[in-house]
Chain A
């Protein structure tokens, strides 16, 4: 019995050694297609099975015990149906070759072990890397209960004794061996998975464009990818194990250290940007803490930073311009408001002014109307008075003449002189009344505007004058065709007065000269070389009864020029004079239509 246990334990030890060897050698098929890898695994398993069978314990001739059940069940569990069946075929063949009364049971044990292993794999679907020792132990017990059940294939004679012999060691040792072997495989599997994961992670870390550095808690570099190392200007191998502070640019150490220590201390990710002045490049750092230290990703963001800066500069410029624009708009608005207010004020002022003006106009119209009425009354009065005044004058003159006639030579010189003076005064008054009538008519009569030939009129007037004062040599200059728009009667009155004055005041001249002419702008003039007058009395010229000469020198009523002015004003024109004592006078007049005539 002790011998049996020792043999079984030895076989189990062999198995475990082979399992460890298998795992260490790593016969995992590498990159071969799955089916070939599975067949390869099956062959290996079969070989191990054959190996343990070579060192099996012979209970009786042809009845052997070994750990092939452990090999095949674990193979089914860890490697699947195909490797397990492959191994089963190999070991089964080997057992058949061994022969003996235990052959049937031996093959049955092989089949049962494969079946339970495969069934456990596909029915339980355990996570192989997470299998517990307990489950592996139970798995071992199940497999070996199956193995004990296979004793029914032994010849009846040895069936019971064999069972009794092996039951204890099989149920004690084999499940333990199964659990241990499974544990070895589980670890291998686990490591393989870890290797795969690490490999994938490494691939990822190496393929990404970010630089990546892993640091342990003492700031040693535990991993750096190629891109990361390149940024330090080194190879990854040259950085591994170095303290990071020695490798960072001297001027940046403080900056990095602050962030790295913060991430380490707080256990929170820290993101920061770093500008490396010597290169004129920007980097973004993302620092993730882990229990083992820090994972640091960094990549260059110079371009995006530049774009960002450009964008922000642009934004600033736009904002500045918008602000300026806003300010300008505000200013314009203010200006506009001011102007509007001003315009409104102006408008109000204008309206007020307009109101005032209207009131003024109404007032003026009213005054004008009243003035017109009183003027007309006055004119009518003057007219009728003038007529009535003439009758007594006629009586005075007439009866004085009659008296002189009747008394004849009976009058002495004194008496005759008195009568003459009475008559002269009456006659002068009659002349004044006639002139007053003309003056009033100049205002009173309705004007008929028509084309008037002033040259013709002047000649008619001059003819009258010559008739009344024949024999005077007067040089006349009146160009033909001087026409004007106006009332013929009134314009005749104008020329009668102006030319009449010229005639009168040139009387002392041996070579008198009278000229009618026209200047630019429809201004007519009557010029003489008579006695003239002093310009300082010019303002008295056009007033009624104003005279610049004594009656004995030049008789006159002082109404003629007043009449001229009234007529000219009624035509919308004006009249003025230029003169010099002893050198003659010129009277200018217009008739209210500049450039006309």
Chain B
């Protein structure tokens, strides 16, 4: 199992906590770094702004990206990630409340690796996150790992 971190871009602390718990229950022990909005997310990834001095040298194993975010929203963040050489192949999973057709289509067009709608029902939510963690942390071979 990779020891690389998971980057969670989430402005809602409740959702953050629920996601952490879900990952825990699924047995995911990787560090989860959390940023609160799109700007922070990009600063984190590109070591810019107030996170310029971040010591970790590797990219996260996966980015769990909410769409509705303050400042830069999820779509803009995703486009920025895909436009940069360094992060072009970084796995990005959209984790959001929206089930709008447009959001789904837009996300895949912009290069999202997966799109998961956060269900209200706890069991469903935990199950979705568990599967995500399993897939992206245990099974998927990201280009950066080779």
Using CB atoms and an 8 Å cutoff, list the residues of chain A in contact with chain B: 383, 387-388, 390-395, 397-402, 423, 426-427, 429-430, 434, 437, 441, 445, 489
Contacts and interface: CB of A to CB of B under 8 A. Distances in A.
B97 A390 contact: yes
A387 B15 contact: no
A580 to B, nearest CB: 37
B18 A426 contact: no
Contacts of B14: 391-392, 394-395, 398-399
Contact of A391 (B97, B100, B122): B97
Interface residues of B, number: 19
Contacts of B120: 390, 393-394, 397, 426-427, 429-430
B121 A402 contact: no
B87 interface: no
A394 B119 contact: yes
Count chain A CB atoms within 10 A of each CB in B97, B118, B126 and give the residue with the most: B97
Given A394-B15, A394-B18, A400-B122, 14 more contacts: A383-B100, A387-B68, A387-B97, A390-B120, A394-B97, A395-B14, A395-B15, A397-B120, A397-B121, A398-B14, A399-B18, A402-B21, A430-B121, A489-B101
B70 to A, nearest CB: 13
Nearest to A391: B12
B145 interface: no
A290 to B, nearest CB: 133
A398 B97 contact: no
B46 interface: no
A162 B109 CA distance: 187
29 contacts: A387-B68, A387-B97, A390-B118, A390-B120, A391-B14, A392-B14, A394-B14, A394-B15, A394-B18, A394-B97, A394-B118, A394-B119, A395-B15, A395-B18, A397-B120, A398-B122, A398-B125, A399-B18, A401-B126, A402-B18, A423-B122, A426-B120, A427-B120, A429-B120, A430-B121, A434-B99, A437-B100, A441-B101, A445-B101
Interface string B12-25: 10110010010000
B129 to A, nearest CB: 11
A379 to B, nearest CB: 12
B107 to A, nearest CB: 15
A437 B21 CA distance: 28
Contacts of B21: 398, 402
B123 interface: yes
B98 interface: yes
Interface of B: 12, 14-15, 18, 21, 68, 97-101, 118-123, 125-126
Nearest to A489: B101
A395 B10 CA distance: 14
A394 B68 contact: no
Nearest to A433: B120
A402 B98 CA distance: 24
B66 to A, nearest CB: 10
Contacts of B97: 387, 390-391, 394
Complex A-B, nearest 7 residue pairs according to Cβ-Cβ distance, in ascending order: A430-B120, A401-B122, A395-B14, A398-B18, A398-B122, A390-B97, A397-B122
Given A387-B97, A387-B98, A437-B99, A402 B15 contact: no
Contacts of A429: 120
A383 to B, nearest CB: 8
B15 A391 contact: yes
Count chain A CB atoms within 10 A of each CB in B15, B21, B99, B120 and give the residue with the most: B120
Contacts of B18: 394-395, 398-399, 402
Nearest to B67: A387
A438 to B, nearest CB: 9
Nearest to B68: A387
A564 B68 CA distance: 29
B117 to A, nearest CB: 10
Nearest to B101: A489
A423 B125 CA distance: 13
Nearest to A404: B122
B123 A401 contact: yes
Contacts of A437: 99-100
Nearest to B19: A398
Nearest to A437: B99
Count chain B CB atoms within 10 A of each CB in A393, A402, A426 and give the residue with the most: A402
A348 B123 CA distance: 74
A402 B100 contact: no
Contacts of A401: 122-123, 126
A394 B68 CA distance: 16
B26 to A, nearest CB: 14
A491 B122 CA distance: 31
B49 to A, nearest CB: 27
A345 to B, nearest CB: 58
Contacts of A392: 14
A394 B101 contact: no
Nearest to A392: B14
Contacts of A391: 12, 14-15, 97
A402 B25 CA distance: 11
A426 to B, nearest CB: 6
A377 B80 CA distance: 30
